[in-house]
Structure 1
Amino acid sequence: MLEEWLSEPNFASISGQLEELYMTHSRKDMNETLTDILLSACVTPAMMPDRLLMEHVFLVSILHYTVGLEVGAHFLEAVVKKFDEVHRSGSEGKVCNNLIALLAHLYNFHVVHSVLIFEILKILLDSFTEKDIEIILFLLKNVGFSLRKDDALALKELISEAQKKAGMNKELVDQSRVRFMLETMLALKNNDMRKIPGYDPEPVERLRKLQRSMLHNNGGGKEAQLHVTFENILNADQTGRWWIVGSSWSGTPMISNADSISQLKLPGGKVSSKILELARKQRMNTDIRRTIFCVMMTSEDFLEAFENLLRLGLKDHQEREIVHVLIDCCLQEKTFNAFYAILGDKFCNYDRRFQMTFQFSMWDKFRELENLSDTAFSNLGDLLAHLLKKKSLSLSVFKVIEFSELDKPKVRLLRHILRKLLMETGPEELAAIFGRISGIPKLGLLCEGLKLFISHFLLKNSHGSSEEVSLLKEQANVAEKALQAKDSKLKL
């Protein structure tokens, strides 16, 4: 079981193994499985040790930043919906306490924004039962000073509301737990940690420090916090999960009439209803996706599209949606449109984070090949071949493919891409493309797999004129030598 071997010394290896599983399995299945395991371990009728809950949420936070926001978002949604269900039912036991502890630590480790925690505190203040007071105390003790730091005014208003609520009922004021809650709130208001018995920030701070060291090379920062409300989460099935970039969506349309559609604005002004109708048909189902789509469709050329997309000022996690929309549009064209390939190349050269998003998106597409139409399949191959020729992506994009277990769709895609590279690239450029992955120990199997693939699937029974066959063999020889070049130097 996960809880039996999850501990601070193991975090790096466990998160690394889970990242690999995310790369080789459906993200939807992984999110559901991970959430089920964590909830069954953490949400029980008995109060779970805070250290155990903290470490499980810490793992979620690492995957949230390294794998994608949908990991934390999926877990958060499950916890919030369960909390709402349990809180409404007024059930006994510590299930509600455990769920609140999970939410508190999701905030502690920057998965969710303080706006959700403030909303939950207000919900608890509205009902203000003995159980609610107990949970409010727990929240304030665990995240009160962080809330004060994030939004002192909102905390001040919350404290005033709690004091009024308690003052309205003299019996409540006389209860020791209520008095303790009010004293805790006063200590928070005065920023006096000494007045809160048992307050110990050290365990959270230690894990935050570990989190920073593990995510040292990840650029997400607090930008990746989910700024989502309680109501957003409860209504996600009806209104969509806009807080997950590139998420799947189901439910009633988020924009349902021409008046609301016409309000969408772009850097150059409003867009026509015709373009917005096209966006709807292309399943651009969030404001970000629609805006990106409309920018692409209304730009004169790739340079104007590139500049206008940058002017949107999208945050780091929102920027990834540019790549998702670009690939979706490219695959839906009736014939390959080089506009998307050139625009993609421009973004990859602009910042390496776009290269990484393209790579992850391509890995997702590799798992869906059998579901693509012939046109989409061909467009995907042409897009990837272009990005490889321009060195926007490296052949390492194929490292997730098991060459010993190739199915027909993967053979077809690799044959399409590699043949284009060999036949449409000069010898020097070709050597540079294949040479990029040679001599790297982790890519040794990929190099061998590519050599065998070219030999077995491209050169054997190759079709075309004698000149084409001859050129293919010459170029294959160039590629093979490039794959071996650095290996030979290393051996020397």
Structure 2
Amino acid sequence: MTSIRQVLDSKKYVPPAKLKALLEESDVSYASEEYQRLHWEKLKKQINGEINKVNTENIKEVVLELFKLNLIRGKGWLVRCLMKSQILSQAYTTVYAALICVLNSKIPELGELLVTRLILQFRKAYKNDDRDTSKASVIFLSQLVNYQVCHDIVALQLLFLLLEHPTDTTVEIACALLQNCGKFLSENSSVALNAVFERLGTILTEDLVSKRIQLLILEAFKQRKNDYDGAPVIVEELDLVEDEDKVTHTLNLDDKLKAHEILNTFQFDQDYEKHEQAYDELRKQILGYEEDSSYDESDEESEDDEADNVAKEQIRDLTESALTNFQKTVYLTMMSSINHEEAVHKLLKLQPIDPGRKEQMLVDMIVKCCAQEKTYSKYYALVGEKLISVNRNWTKAFDQVFVDNYTNCHQYELSLIRNIGSFWGHMFASDKMGWEILQIVQLTEESTNSASRIFLKFLFVKLQEELGLKNLRVRLSEEYIQPYIRGLFPNSGADRLRFSINYFTAIGLGALTEDMREILNNLPENEEESGVEDENERKRSASPDD
């Protein structure tokens, strides 16, 4: 027994096989404190491991693995892990909320303990003027409101508290709450939400906060006016529990609550076997099949063996489902980011499904996200502007995607072409995108179609908006650019000159054609006539024989 005590006191990692042999040699009984403490330490590690790896793609598997563990015994540690992880990774708040929603539907005390501790955490942080912890707590609670783990009365009480004596910090946190659960409140508590926005309007008109916070308030009003862009309260991938199965806890911000911190530590259980058997029965009801209640060292050993096998056999999953999941991750990452800088930081950390094409796949998805917006959003172009500056691989990726977009633009609808063209117009205007790639464009009737001409129209219109007509003309007249834009602005050939002049005049950029007009007027007469003859010959050859 001394050796077991030494293992417990040292708190060092012991391999599962060695620990199993040690238990057998020591002949430890289930009722002993040493046995229970060993299993408590293992339960903590398993819960912590599952929480650390959960994401949108594997959340269903993580839920099943967590239900295999004794969550009644480990509920305090589970809630502690969720709260710590959410503070460190607020972008995953929706995933953590979806996870607790599923667990709460079967074991309601888990959701109640989490809501209780979040309220207490907010109270303490608010009292100590801890902005970051207060904001993290409010964001987590707002997502729990969306998933109906927590009643919306808490969200409304938070809003009224934060706006009662407005400061930059409190109003910023209130706007974050509205951004996260404003849609839910507008559908379920519209009258109370109207009062909140009236208060925000008063704060705005009386100039009670800084300009930065006023912009956040205006953005909150804009989101409300747009019905939060028609987005669902819960994204489809994380909507795992039917409404009738959800358990909602009604707690008030000023209730007398206890955190039950003692649940985070080991407690000796006189009826250990009885309680383990009771959870085994509950597990069978939840999972619907027989599970090995021991889930002990032998399981952990097999997990280690599986890990070794995975390390030996590298599998590349390039199936359509893997690509779809990757695209969803990119989309959700961009949608959950506060600004373009945060989005770039997160995107660079994403694990690629094909390391050789990571940059190109990301750029392609960013352009697709931009294309799907109802109106062009500069947000995506700012993300692109940051990414293309990372290294040369990203520059090549942007060039390749531009070529693909221009070549295949005939496959897109008009609204998509508008956004895509505007995106690339911003990239060229920012000077982050090399103009050399424009050499692929040949602006002639034979080399273009209606879609590609529309694409170029929105590209140049965006260039003119970003730079101004005067600066755009200066840019296009620079010496180094000339060889790459000869396809767009030719300096010879009457037909090509006329077509380019007519095109840019038609899209409202006739000022860019002054040099071409001068060249056309000064062309030798025989060259102009040969150009006309070539044009007539081309038309005759294109027409069917009689």
TM-score normalised by L of structure 2: 0.34
Q: Does 1 or 2 have the higher relative contact order (CA < 8 Å, sep 6+)?
A: 2
TM-score by length of 1: 0.37
